Structure 1
Amino acid sequence: MELEGTVLVGREFDPVQGRVVVEDGTIQAVEETSTESSSIIVPAFVNAHTHIGDSIAKEAGGGLSLDELVAPPDGLKHRLLRQTSQSEKIAAMRRSLQYMQSGGTAACIEFREGGREGVDAIRAAAASVDLHPVILGRETADAMEIADGFGASGARDGEFGSVRNATREAGKLFGIHAGERDPDDINPALDLEPDFLVHMVHPEPLHLERVADRDVPIVVCPRSNLVTKVGIPPIRELANRTTVALGTDNVMLNSPSMFREMEFTAKLADVSAAEVLRMATVNGADIAGLNCGLVEEGRDAKLLVLDGDSDNLTGVRDPVRAVVRRAGVSDVERVVL
């Protein structure tokens, strides 16, 4: 298979007129050549933090606080999930995964509520969708055993030392929410030596130093933080110190659209379009241990082809800024997953 157009190549997303040669699901070559195609070829997205179980309750709980919405075990989300049948949850999650796929998302890192049953549910939902969920079980250690790792709610919500050790021994991924409502749970979270932290809205100078010293990746979800009124993460300060990736968080609160997350981040924070695109692609892939997120030889061919001649994108002078700040699902020409 060959894809032609303006190719955003490598980690800097250099725009090159040419073609991408794909064989057996791998990028074999990126060739510079003249082409009449107006397509824009970019790496498919990696959504680095999702909770798609609450797809059954989109826009529920308007006006509620963060704790009232999602704090375990009795936040609105958890109560609604307990009231919903397994088949309904699977069907709703499948719809969210299909939406993500149609918008160019190749993979997501899913913090999966419901123990083993929750892990089984998202696997069932994803079975017919060409999108790879990296599943982090929650609530029980045995959920981690059948998943890709463990996603902890936060250091203030319980003792996670034993499950952290078990996750490490299993060679799996351990992520934890930290600094979402205040800074009090950041040091305890860092003491667990996680593979990554989620949110970090309220880091203090000491926390930033610890993150930099240990090179702990951070996943930020600024749209979600705005909805829950906890503040906005200091994205520039975090990016100066470590790898930062983007996630969309709870489907209950936000559509799982990486286009929307990129545009919001680019217009909110003092970061370049190329930095934001890395946050939406290769940085999340690196956290998850996936071989995608860039258009370069040897990477998995997880690619997004945009129509550069759409009503929205025609006349674009800077394709990287256009992808990050302007493009949307309606501009998608093809998704190669």
Structure 2
Amino acid sequence: MERAGTILRGRELEPVEGRVIVDDEGRIDRIEEEPVDSDDIVLPAFVNAHTHVGDSIAKEAGGGLSLEELVAPPDGLKHRLLRDATREELIEAMRRSLRFMSRGGTAACLDFREGDVDGVRLLREAASGLEIDAFAFARESAEAMRAGDGFGASGANDDVFDAERAATREAGKPFGIHAGEADSSDVDPALDLEPDFLVHVVHPEPAHLDRIEDGHVPVVVCPRSNLVTDVGLPPVEDLVERTTVALGTDNVMLNSPSMFREMEFLSKLSELSARDVLRMATVNGAEIADLEYGVVEPGKRARLTILDGDSDNLTGARDPVRAVVRRASVDDVREVVA
């Protein structure tokens, strides 16, 4: 198999004209640089590094509520709506969000899962047959973590997670935790757990940034969600200078799980380059999840998003990386190679 066009190659997402040659096992064999008769843009498929797709049952509910009123366990609005929904309703709502992500070029999502062991099973059932890797970062018990792909803690102010952290180490699975979303009070105790990654980090103090850098702790930012919940925007430029930063869309209740929208929003509200933002949506998320894709280079799995560079939206774009980040949408996706 081969795909031709402008290829955003390697970790630097360097635009080159040519072909991506994929072997029979679905891995990139080589990239051939040569003139081609194609306007397509070939880029690595996205990795949505933080989602709550269980909230798909409650899209646009709770307008005007505070963060705590929306999502705080056990009686935040989303938890009440989750309890009231049937199993079939939850699975179908999640499945439709996962299908939307897949059609929009997302190869994987790292989902923080409510519902203990059964919550992991719900996600597995919702993702069955779809071309997306939906990783369950379970919550509520070590048993759920063992059934899933890791543990996703709500925050160090909500509970003590020492036992769950020890269990993830024993199981060889990753541990992520929300930190610094509403304020800075839970950042230090979160870092004390030596997590594999933090989520949000909207309110780090200088000492927290030092600890993140010194510990090489990756961070997943969700800027659209942070704006909707009125907690502010993370200091993304400072974080990118210090550690690996990935991008997530967070609660489906609050935001469409579109990486195109997340990239455009962040790019236009920050001083980051388009290349930095695209790396956050692809390479960096894949590194956090230890995936075999997320970059277009030989030896990697060929999980690719192909954009129609001759669409009415993209035709004439002078900079393909900026066009992908600041202009492209799901409508421009010609094909997703899974």
The aligned residue for residue 171 of structure 2 is: 170
The aligned residue for residue 125 of structure 1 is: 126
Q: Distance in 2 between matches of 1:160 and 1:238?
A: 25
Deviation at 1:101, TM superposition (A): 0.3
Q: Distance in 2 between matches of 1:30 and 1:335?
A: 18
The aligned residue for residue 283 of structure 1 is: 284
Q: Distance in 2 between matches of 1:134 and 1:282?
A: 17
The aligned residue for residue 197 of structure 1 is: 198
Q: Deviations over 1:198-228 (max 9, x none)?
A: 0000000000000000010000000000000
Runs (4+) of structure 1 exceeding 6 A deviation are: none
The aligned residue for residue 83 of structure 2 is: 82
Q: Distance in 1 between matches of 2:154 and 2:306?
A: 36
Q: Distance in 2 between matches of 1:282 and 1:133?
A: 17
The aligned residue for residue 8 of structure 1 is: 8
1:5-44 to structure 2, matched below 5 A, reads 5-23=5-23, 24-44=25-45
The aligned residue for residue 70 of structure 1 is: 71
Deviation at 1:288, TM superposition (A): 0.5
1:147-162 to structure 2, matched below 5 A, reads 147-162=148-163
* Secondary structure of 2:190 counterpart: helix
Report the AA paired with residue 53 of structure 2: I
Give the TM-score normalised by structure 2: 0.99
Report the AA paired with residue 4 of structure 1: A
The aligned residue for residue 51 of structure 1 is: 52
Deviation at 1:331, TM superposition (A): 0.5
**Structure 2: 5+ residue stretches without partners:** none
The aligned residue for residue 218 of structure 1 is: 219
Q: Distance in 1 between matches of 2:332 and 2:146?
A: 40
* Secondary structure of 2:42 counterpart: strand
Deviation at 1:128, TM superposition (A): 1.8
Report the AA paired with residue 162 of structure 1: A
Q: Distance in 2 between matches of 1:50 and 1:30?
A: 32
The aligned residue for residue 99 of structure 1 is: 100
Q: Distance in 1 between matches of 2:198 and 2:298?
A: 30
Q: Deviations over 1:142-190 (max 9, x none)?
A: 1001111100000000010001000111100100000000000000000
* Secondary structure of 2:157 counterpart: helix
User: Identical aligned pairs, as a percentage?
Assistant: 67
Give the TM-score normalised by structure 1: 0.99
Q: Distance in 1 between matches of 2:142 and 2:6?
A: 46
Report the AA paired with residue 307 of structure 2: L
Report the AA paired with residue 104 of structure 1: G
Deviation at 1:291, TM superposition (A): 1.1
* Secondary structure of 2:185 counterpart: helix
**Structure 1: 5+ residue stretches without partners:** none
Deviation at 1:73, TM superposition (A): 1.2
Matched, 1:330 2:325: no
Q: Distance in 1 between matches of 2:255 and 2:12?
A: 29
* Secondary structure of 2:181 counterpart: coil
* Secondary structure of 2:335 counterpart: strand
Instruction: Report how many aligned residue pairs link the two structures.
Output: 337
* Secondary structure of 2:131 counterpart: coil
Report the AA paired with residue 225 of structure 1: N
* Secondary structure of 2:242 counterpart: coil
Q: Deviations over 1:37-71 (max 9, x none)?
A: 01000000000000000101100000000000001
The aligned residue for residue 298 of structure 2 is: 297
Q: Distance in 2 between matches of 1:250 and 1:14?
A: 32
Q: Distance in 1 between matches of 2:300 and 2:254?
A: 33
Deviation at 1:140, TM superposition (A): 1.4
Matched, 1:263 2:270: no
Deviation at 1:257, TM superposition (A): 0.2
Report the AA paired with residue 66 of structure 1: L
Farther-moved stretch of structure 1 (205-214 vs 132-141)? 132-141
Q: Distance in 1 between matches of 2:12 and 2:137?
A: 30
Deviation at 1:30, TM superposition (A): 0.7
* Secondary structure of 1:64 counterpart: coil
Deviation at 1:263, TM superposition (A): 0.3
Q: Distance in 2 between matches of 1:13 and 1:157?
A: 39
